[in-house]
């Protein structure tokens, strides 16, 4: 193949300097969120199931009364 290598092109520079770091940041966020999700699932797995068929709501500010 003749011509410049990918990393020597404008598109290659954008990829290595912008796209790749952004991908790594997003993968880290995904991993952090997955760890939090697994921890929450493990906590919930230790609790007995709810007595009613309706799902229970957590007591977070988002789900507090006065919505």
| pLDDT value, residue 7 | 93
Q: At residue 47, what are phi and psi to the nearest 5 degrees?
A: -95, 145
**Distance (Å, rounded) from C-alpha 64 to C-alpha 32?**
26
Tens-digit pLDDT profile for residues 13-66:
999 999 999 999 999 999 999 999 999 999 999 876 656 555 555 555 555 555
User: Domain residues of the chain, as ranges?
Assistant: 19-45
Q: At residue 17, what are phi and psi to the nearest 5 degrees?
A: -95, -20
Q: Which residue has the higher pLDDT, 5 or 46?
A: 5
| pLDDT value, residue 54 | 55
**Distance (Å, rounded) from C-alpha 4 to C-alpha 50?**
63
Burial class (CB in 10 A: 0-12, 13-18, 19+), 44: exposed
């Amino acid at each position: 193949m003749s011509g410049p290598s990918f990393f020597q092109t404008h598109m290659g520079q954008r990829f290595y300097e912008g796209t790749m770091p952004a991908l790594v940041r997003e993968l880290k966020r995904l991993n952090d969120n997955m760890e939090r999700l697994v921890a929450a699932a493990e906590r919930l797995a230790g609790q007995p199931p709810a007595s009613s068929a309706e799902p229970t709501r957590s007591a977070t500010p988002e789900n507090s009364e006065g919505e």
